[in-house]
Amino acid sequence: MLISVIMFKDFGLTDGQITVYTGWLGLPWVIKPLWSPFIDNFKTKRWWILSMQFLMGIALAMVAFTLPTSYWLQSSLAIFMLIAFASATHDVSADGFYIIGLREKDQELYVGVRNTFYRIGMVIGQGGLVLLAGYLQDGKLGAAFQSASASWMVIFLILGILMILLATYHSVLLPKVETSLHNDFNLKTQLIEFWNTLKVFATKPHVITALMFILLFRLPEGLLTKIVPLFLTRGAEEGGLGMSNVDFGLVYGTLGVIGLLAGGIIGGWAVSKWGLKRCLWPLVLCITLPDIVYVFLSYFPTDQLWITGTCVCIEQIGYGLGFAAYTLFLVTFSRGDRSTAVFAICTAGQYLGGVMLPGMVSGLISENVGYQSFFLIVMAFCLVTFTVTALVKIPKS
């Protein structure tokens, strides 16, 4: 989902087309609570993890072979959706495997390792591979790969091979933490369980304001997520900064992700030291006010990489700080009866309201008003974040 935004831009699609098409790829993460009970009750978590990794590896390689064809858009989107469902399924099974396979103390110990490797994956994908695509298109690694289809074909072949190698590695070394296969899935029982979970969620204290907070807190960032890469890489005649894929991979995919990781670590430390209630408003200001850097860049465009890199890093640090508080709210709100299932509903809600829907409409807005007005609109939507924060009741930790 991250690098497809840049790929579709290289293939000539408009902002509106890109954000709508890639926005739909978030659907599996919104609805994954619907089939997560099946994963819990059929086969083992290890079986699901390995199956989905091999499936994603094959599918990523399939994308590479569709790009040189005349039906590249329809085929790549169909395969991307398959990958998205496989990835969301992998997400559910990997979380369950983590919980089953480790003692509670070890779960706390390794949570930082999990988050670190997640960010490393973002650096490799959004930084390293986009940077490599830029080098290929610039002809620095051979004239044969200068076209968009040839360069991105190489990228997806690398991704497919990497995923298959990881799946093979895991098939040998991943421990077996469940003693038997589960084959006792019962649809009627699972529907009753899902309904009972919804009742638990709906009867939690202050559920209306909590739901507004879950859905709308990340609205400004949701609008920015897909447009910022397009703004940075579009040419000056289109209102963008005209960065090459090489520069974008370095600045946004590497420095930006490092800033996001640093913000998350600092935000987590601050909340653990002073509590969510005391830290909430400072961290809310951290996730909203730095968005103004894109207003600055749109009105005062520059080709100085260090200026753009500094602005992106500031905004991503702020995002990491604010998201730490948001995540802890989801955790504390979910505690109690059926906490795991309630948390799954919360994360689905935050993805729907904070990523998928804003991301889908963001390109249509930017196309109609231009990047300068778009970033001003994003700043205005920060008032929504302030409003839901003022209304929400913080659960006791």
In single-letter form, the type of residue at position 87 comes to S
Domain range enclosing 42: 1-179
Residue keyed to tokens 């998350």:
264
- Predicted confidence at residue 101, as pLDDT, reads 81
The CA distances from residue 163 to 80, 151, 358, in Å, are 15, 19, 30
Structure tokens at 116: 């670190």
Which of 158, 179, 200 terminates a domain? The answer is 179
Residues 200 and 174 in one domain: no
Which residue has 């090489």 as its token pair?
246
| Euclidean distance between CA atoms 251 and 130, whole angstroms | 11
pLDDT at position 396 is 64
Given 123, 153, 179, which residue is the final one in a domain? Answer: 179
Total number of domains in the chain: 2
Question: Per residue in 270-320, pLDDT tens?
Answer: 887 888 888 899 999 999 999 999 999 999 999 899 999 999 999 989 988
- Rounded to 5 degrees, φ, ψ at 43 are 60, -155
Report pLDDT for 103. Answer: 76
Whether 351 and 230 map to the same domain: the answer is yes
Q: Is residue 397 part of a domain?
A: no
**Within-domain flag for 325:** yes
* 194, 80 Cβ separation under 8 angstroms: no
Query: Is residue 332 included in any domain, yes or no?
Result: yes
CA 281 to chain CA mean position, Å: 24
Whether residue 230 contacts residue 17, with contact meaning beta carbons closer than 8 Å, is answered with no
Residues 132 and 252 in one domain: no
Distances (CA, A) of 146 to 65, 88, 193, 254: 17, 33, 54, 23
CA distance 262 to 92: 26
Task: Give the span between the Cα atoms of 195 and 298, in whole angstroms.
Answer: 48
Q: pLDDT tens digit string along 163-203?
A: 999 999 999 999 988 776 666 666 777 778 778 888 888 89
The reply to whether 228 and 350 lie within a common domain is: yes
The per-residue pLDDT for range 99-146, each reduced to its tens digit, is 778 776 776 667 667 767 777 787 788 788 888 888 888 776 666 667
Judge if 337 and 379 occupy the same domain.
yes
Domain contains 276: yes
Q: Are residues 87 and 56 in the same domain?
A: yes
- The answer to whether residues 58 and 95 belong to one domain is yes
Indicate the pTM of the whole model: 0.84
Which of 179, 207, 239 marks a domain boundary?
Answer: 179
Task: Evaluate the CA torsion angle 178, 179, 183, 186 in order and state its sign.
Answer: negative
Q: Tokens in use for 44?
A: 């083992």
- Residue 228 DSSP symbol: H
| One domain, residues 344 and 288 | yes
Q: Are residues 170 and 229 in the same domain?
A: no
CATH of the domain at 78: 1.20.1250
The answer to whether residues 242 and 223 belong to one domain is yes
Q: Are residues 118 and 167 in the same domain?
A: yes
Tens digits of residue pLDDT in 52-104: 999 999 999 999 999 988 899 999 999 999 999 999 999 888 877 877 787 76
Q: Does 64 map to a domain?
A: yes
Amino acid at position 27, single letter: L
258 and 378 in a single domain? The answer is yes
- Domain with 236 in it: what CATH number? 1.20.1250.20
